[in-house]
A = this chain, B = another copy of it.
Amino acid sequence: MEKLYVIKIGGNIIDDEQKLSSFLQSFASIQGKKILIHGGGKLATKLAATLGVEQQMVEGRRITDAETLKIVTMVYAGYINKNIVAQLQANNCNAIGLCGADGNVIKAHKRPLKNGIDYGFVGDVDAVNTTVLQSLIEQNIAVVVAPITHNANGQLLNTNADTIAQETAKALSSLYCVELIYSFEKSGVLMNAEDDTSVISSINPVSYTQLREKNIIFAGMIPKLDNAFAALQSGVSKVIIGKAEELHSLINGSAGTSIVHE
């Protein structure tokens, strides 16, 4: 099967014009088939503040009321998505920006109440439809996905970009040899959280168990790695975690942490 890169960039890159521009240059120059999933960054929060829309957060997650949904749809699927596409075009990378409603690419349902908390218009992914994605990928078009999905009944939903990256990578694994890359602000999974040079270059299920037992991997890194191993179980060939500025090194294996079967 042909290789496909599914690459997620986090909000800290989106928020930094220079870093984003340099990342997009690197992304554009990747040879081969690729998808970019972008998060939201702080622009939506800023716009909400300017508009006087109060942002409720519960356990680090935004409660998406109707006004907030409108804002994230505008910012994620409009401003950020279209500026990324325009910059990729300027770097000679043909790209198309989509949200989950486009081509029915990502169907989701409104998250049910959890511990009495209504997260509002937040979507949990049901299915990634690969038909349109494959048709675009086969035309060597880079698909740029904004973290907005729909429920197929006309309702848009705000959805976690990490989840979208993972579900998209899993769904496309039946068609491509998928490498899923989470690019963020750190150099990878670290032996010592304080030392950005202490990158663990490779983690397999056995070493993962050991690293958890020794409390080297803990807190927020655990769900990330659990998701990475779940993706491998579902057919993704490799998951790489590392710094957005080192995209090409992440891909050629000389930087970041690779999460592998064994």
**Chain A positions near chain B (C-beta within 8 angstroms):** 50-51, 70, 73-79, 81-83, 85-87, 89-90, 94-99, 101-104, 131-132, 135, 139, 141, 148, 150, 152-156
Contacts and interface: CB of A to CB of B under 8 A. Distances in A.
A86 B98 CA distance: 12
Contacts of A131: 139
A61 to B, nearest CB: 21
B86 A101 contact: yes
Copies of this chain in the oligomer: 2
A154 B99 contact: no
A156 B78 contact: no
Nearest to A131: B139
B94 A96 contact: no
Max chain B C-beta neighbours (<10 A), residue from A70, A85, A132, A135: A85
A203 to B, nearest CB: 37
Contact of A102 (B95, B152, B153): B95
A101 B89 contact: yes
Closest 7 CB pairs of A and B: A78-B78, A90-B154, A74-B74, A74-B78, A86-B101, A96-B102, A86-B150
B73 A79 contact: yes
22 contacts: A50-B51, A51-B51, A73-B79, A73-B83, A74-B78, A74-B79, A75-B78, A77-B77, A77-B78, A77-B82, A83-B156, A86-B156, A87-B154, A95-B102, A95-B103, A96-B103, A97-B98, A97-B99, A97-B101, A97-B102, A131-B139, A132-B141
